[in-house]
Amino acid sequence: MIHVTNKQIENLISAIPDDYTNPHPVILLENAVRNQEGLLSESGALVVNTGIYTGRSPKDKFIVDYGQENIFWGEINQPLEPEIYKELLVRMLDYLENRVAYHVEMCAGAEAKSSIPLRIITEKAWAALFSHNLFIRQNSIESSASHPTNPFTILHCPDFTAPEGTKGLHSKTFVILNFNERTILIGGTAYAGEIKKSVFTVMNYFLPAKHILSMHCSANLGINNDVALFFGLSGTGKTTLSSDPSRQLIGDDEHGWSEAGIFNLEGGCYAKTINLNQEFEPIIWNASQQLFSVLENVILNDKTRKPDFNDTTLTENTRAAYPLDFVDHHVESGIAGHPKNIFFLSADASGILPPISKLDNAQAMYYFLSGYTSKLAGTERDLGKRPQATFSVCFGAPFLPLHPKVYCDLLGEKIRQHKVNVWLLNTGWSGGPYGIGKRIHLPYTRAMINAAISGALEHIPYHTDGFLDLRVPSRCPGVPQDILLPINNWQNKSEYQRHANHLIYQFEQNFDLYRDIMDIEVREAGPQLGK
């Protein structure tokens, strides 16, 4: 039996030079350029190429299996034997002992009593800079010096791979979470999203036990202290829509909802930059091009060193990682009150979902469990060029180690308790499916959100969508009236009906997974063929 003590990890950390322990971003930037890990853009952002992995590799993610009954084991939460984990840990420790490593101490969770300290040990200076940008600095959290929680240690070695044929793995690449030993091992992939989402999975495991809902959502705050949440998978608009010059950004991707209110799990943003537009997305544009920002897989002009955000040579999943300090209007503490409005974002490639519809409580639970969107190219390995319809429970299935009902029940309880308005927002296509219709104009989507938040949609008539049984506002300030009901935008009405029936069928097939565990009003709240 292989035995690894915490002391061996501590010995590795203590051997890292002081200059490389919580190094200043300047040192990380200098080392990244000196080691040829990346190039500087004209504005001083670090531009890196993550190699063959330009998105997450979900088939290579595992949880060490100690017989935990609360883990929702399956295709997403794949078990790995403790002995395999220990063997890989020993190999990674040996590997790191012979290389330059960087040690960054951060936190996840802005609420002090529920935050978890992090120790990121990485062989890449740019990954250390990414971690410094993305997570919360420990000295920014009240009482962090006397934090009672043991840290999670992340060993990040993109150039280290598992031996060929390692039992339990599907390839030489691996992302392994050990909740008992409080460690994360990442090897064989340089895509920094694996660091970010592994930490999110950790928070999704521990927070619900404290009656805190962990959420895959962005959040912002209005001048009247009204909080809005934006749930959605990658590419649906969480970062773009929450980055509103008229509101303060709380965070762009991951949050907790406690008895006190909303708090950010991170200290930075990880924004998609494909087709980034300075006019429509000025906050992300400015933040992504500052000194110390990290741009993943963005193409630079050889002469001007300006980034070309429209270039998809490496991937459509181009990214910018920057701290919240780079956003002019942000909530410095990362903490706010309870939300007044929640938006479920679905980038519907079928062109059937209305641009905006208001959900009752039962519908809110149904669409939260469904987590429908069209997954956009590049966010995961092996995705093709066309969007793929997907149902990701709670808008975050790849990161949920517990049974979905745990998160769903928590959300339902909090929505009822705080009387939250819930909206379904289509950030995808209108007037036809992908390839025929057009993506809904971003200014229209912003106008619909503003109208919902301001209360402008409270006292107007609503239509009922004849196929999906959704309540759609009859008008909305700043939005052409004819786009609010999707059928009005389709030239071929029979094609609309065919696509609508197919989408309803997909909803029904997906919800069969949860039908037996939900109350009858939730089961009947979704679209139904022949209803």
Q: Tens digit of pLDDT per residue, the chain (531 long)?
A: 455 567 889 999 999 999 999 999 999 999 999 999 999 999 999 999 999 999 999 999 999 999 999 999 999 999 999 999 999 999 999 999 989 999 999 999 999 999 999 999 999 999 999 999 999 998 766 544 445 568 999 999 999 999 999 999 999 999 999 999 999 999 999 999 999 999 999 999 999 999 999 999 999 999 999 999 999 988 899 999 999 999 999 999 999 999 999 999 999 999 999 999 999 999 999 999 999 999 999 999 999 999 999 999 999 999 999 999 999 899 999 999 999 999 999 999 999 999 999 999 999 999 999 999 987 655 545 445 677 889 999 999 999 999 999 999 999 999 999 999 999 999 999 999 999 999 999 999 999 999 999 999 999 999 998 889 999 999 999 999 989 999 999 999 999 999 999 999 999 999 998 988 888 999 999 998 866
Is 311 an annotated catalytic residue?
Answer: no
Handedness of CA 344, 347, 349, 352 (dihedral sign): positive
Is 329 an annotated catalytic residue?
Answer: no
Is 238 an annotated catalytic residue?
Answer: yes
Contact yes or no for 212/218 (Cβ under 8 A):
no
Active-site hit among 319, 330, 375, 381: 319
Q: Tell me, rounded to whole angstroms, the distance of Cα 352 from its chain centroid.
A: 25
Active-site hit among 122, 153, 214, 234: 234
Active-site hit among 132, 238, 330, 340: 238
Active-site hit among 65, 226, 252, 253: 253
Contact yes or no for 323/267 (Cβ under 8 A):
yes
CA-nearest of 486, 479, 489 to 447 is: 479
Is 319 an annotated catalytic residue?
Answer: yes
Half-sphere exposure of residue 50: CA atoms within 13 angstroms, side-chain side: 29
Q: How far apart are the first and last CA of the chain?
A: 60
| Domains and their CATH numbers in the chain | 335-523 (3.90.228.20)
Residue 517: the pLDDT is 87
Confidence (pTM) = 0.94
Active-site hit among 119, 182, 197, 247: 197
Half-sphere exposure of residue 424: CA atoms within 13 angstroms, side-chain side: 30
CA-nearest of 525, 529, 531 to 366 is: 525
Measure the CA–CA gap between 512 and 418, rounded to whole angstroms: 29
Structure tokens at 491: 């030239």
Active-site hit among 189, 198, 239, 357: 239
Active-site hit among 61, 103, 196, 216: 216
Residue 206: the pLDDT is 97
Active-site hit among 54, 56, 247, 373: 56
Q: Which residues contact 98 (CB under 8 A, 6 or more apart)?
A: none
Is 166 an annotated catalytic residue?
Answer: no
Q: Which residues contact 406 (CB under 8 A, 6 or more apart)?
A: 208
3-state secondary structure of 496: helix
Q: Which residues contact 170 (CB under 8 A, 6 or more apart)?
A: 59, 60
